C-alpha cells in the first residue's frame, strides 16, 4: 500500500470524521448517546470515503455529500449493532471495544440502532442544501440498500451449509452482494445523482460494474482476513463464521483460490473505471489497498 493512497484515504476519511464529530459529541443521554458510542469507534469509514472518492472523480462538490455520507454511515453502524446482538452474531468485540449491547444492554442497543436507522433518513430529509429531487433519489437509493442489507443478513444466518461447489459459490456471491455489496454500491452511485440527468446514466452503469467487483473484493478479503489475521489487528471476534459453519470464500474455495479471486476482482474493478483516466487513480489504487489490507 503506497503512502500516497493511504494519505488520500485518510484525507477523505478525515473530511467525513469532521462532519460526524458534531453529531456524535452533541448527543447527551438517550438513544443518540448509545449509537454515538458505536459511531465514534475508529471505523474505516469505507462507505463515506467511496462516496467522496466518486464525487472527486465526477467533479461533484464534496460539501454537497455531507448528509448522504452521514446517512450511509448511520445505516452501516445501525446494521453492525443489530448484527452483533445475541440473536444474530452474538459478538462482544467491535473495533477493539465492547459491542453496544455488552456496554448498554440488549434492549437499549436494539432500540438505539432502530433510532439510528430512522436518523439516517431524517438527516437527509431536512437537508435543504440538496435539491428536493436529488434528495429523494439519494433517500431512495439508501432505503433500497438498507432493505437489501437486511436480506443479506438473513441469508447470513440461514445460509445452507451444503451444496455443490457451484451452488455454494453462487450462494456466497448473492449473500455478500446483498449484505456488504448493496451499501457499497449505494455509496458509489450517490454522487451521480448530483449530475445533470443526461450525464447520469452512463456514469451509473460504469459505477455499478465497479461496485459489483469492488464489493466482491471487499468480502473475499474479509473472509481471508478472518483466517489469516489476529483479533488484535481486526478488533473483533474472528472465525465466528467458521464456528457457525457459514460458508466463506476460504471454506468453499480454499485460501489460495480465494486470494486469486480477490486479485481477479481487483483487476476487473480497476478495468471498469478505465475510461475515467487519471481521475480514477485513487479508486483504482484503493482496490489494491483493500486487497492487501491487514484489518
Interface positions with its own copies (CB under 8 A):
30-31, 78-79, 82, 85, 87-88, 106-108, 110-112, 114-115, 117-119, 121-122, 125-126, 132-133, 135-136, 139-140, 143-144, 146-147, 150-151, 153-154, 157-158
Residue 93 DSSP SS3: strand
Element (H, E) at 97: strand 97-98
State the minimum distance, in angstroms, from the CB of residue 288 to its own copies: 33
* 13-37: burial string, b at 16+ Cβ within 10 Å, e else: bebbbebbeebbeebeeebbebbbb
Of 131 and 254, the one with the shorter C-beta distance to its own copies is 131
Cell (9 digits) for 143? 432505503
Q: Which of 214, 192, 191 is nearest to 202 (CA)?
A: 192
Of 18 and 157, the one with the shorter C-beta distance to its own copies is 157
State the minimum distance, in angstroms, from the CB of residue 94 to its own copies: 17
State the minimum distance, in angstroms, from the CB of residue 19 to its own copies: 19
Of 82 and 291, the one with the shorter C-beta distance to its own copies is 82
Cell (9 digits) for 182? 448493496
Of 49 and 149, the one with the shorter C-beta distance to its own copies is 149
DSSP alpha helix (H) spans, 26-181: 30-39, 46-57, 66-84, 100-104, 106-125, 132-158, 165-176
Of 79 and 99, the one with the shorter C-beta distance to its own copies is 79
State the minimum distance, in angstroms, from the CB of residue 253 to its own copies: 26
Rounded to whole angstroms, the Cα distance separating 47 from 186 reads: 9
Of 2 and 161, the one with the shorter C-beta distance to its own copies is 161
State the minimum distance, in angstroms, from the CB of residue 86 to its own copies: 8
State the minimum distance, in angstroms, from the CB of residue 54 to its own copies: 21
Rounded to whole angstroms, the Cα distance separating 75 from 116 reads: 7
Amino acid at each position: 500500500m503506497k503512502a500516497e493512497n493511504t494519505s488520500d484515504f485518510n484525507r477523505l476519511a478525515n473530511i467525513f470524521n469532521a462532519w460526524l464529530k458534531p453529531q456524535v459529541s452533541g448527543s447527551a443521554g438517550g438513544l443518540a448517546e448509545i449509537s454515538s458510542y458505536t459511531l465514534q469507534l475508529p471505523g474505516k469509514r469505507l462507505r463515506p470515503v467511496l462516496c467522496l472518492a466518486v464525487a472527486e472523480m465526477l467533479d461533484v462538490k464534496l460539501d454537497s455529500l455531507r448528509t448522504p455520507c452521514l446517512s450511509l454511515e448511520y445505516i452501516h453502524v445501525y446494521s453492525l449493532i443489530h448484527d452483533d446482538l445475541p440473536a444474530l452474531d452474538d459478538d462482544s468485540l467491535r473495533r477493539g471495544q465492547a459491542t453496544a449491547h455488552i456496554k448498554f444492554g440488549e434492549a437499549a442497543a436494539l432500540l438505539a440502532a432502530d433510532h439510528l436507522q430512522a436518523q439516517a433518513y431524517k438527516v437527509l430529509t431536512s437537508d435543504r442544501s440538496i435539491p428536493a429531487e436529488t434528495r429523494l433519489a439519494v433517500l431512495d437509493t439508501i432505503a433500497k440498500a438498507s432493505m437489501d442489507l437486511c436480506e443479506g443478513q438473513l441469508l447470513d444466518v440461514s445460509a445452507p451449509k451444503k451444496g455443490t461447489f457451484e451452488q455454494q459459490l453462487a450462494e456466497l456471491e448473492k449473500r455478500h452482494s446483498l449484505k456488504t455489496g448493496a451499501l457499497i454500491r449505494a455509496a458509489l452511485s450517490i454522487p451521480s445523482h448530483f449530475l445533470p440527468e443526461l450525464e447520469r446514466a452512463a456514469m451509473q452503469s460504469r459505477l455499478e460494474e465497479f461496485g459489483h467487483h469492488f464489493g466482491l473484493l471487499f468480502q473475499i478479503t474479509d473472509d481471508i482476513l478472518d483466517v489469516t489475521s489476529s483479533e488484535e489487528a481486526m478488533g473483533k471476534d474472528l472465525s465466528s463464521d467458521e464456528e457457525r459453519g457459514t460458508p466463506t470464500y476460504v471454506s468453499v474455495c480454499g485460501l489460495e483460490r480465494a486470494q486469486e479471486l480477490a486479485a481477479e476482482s481487483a483487476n476487473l474493478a480497476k478495468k471498469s473505471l478505465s475510461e475515467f483516466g487519471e481521475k480514477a487513480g485513487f479508486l483504482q489504487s484503493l482496490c489494491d489497498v483493500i486487497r492487501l489490507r491487514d484489518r
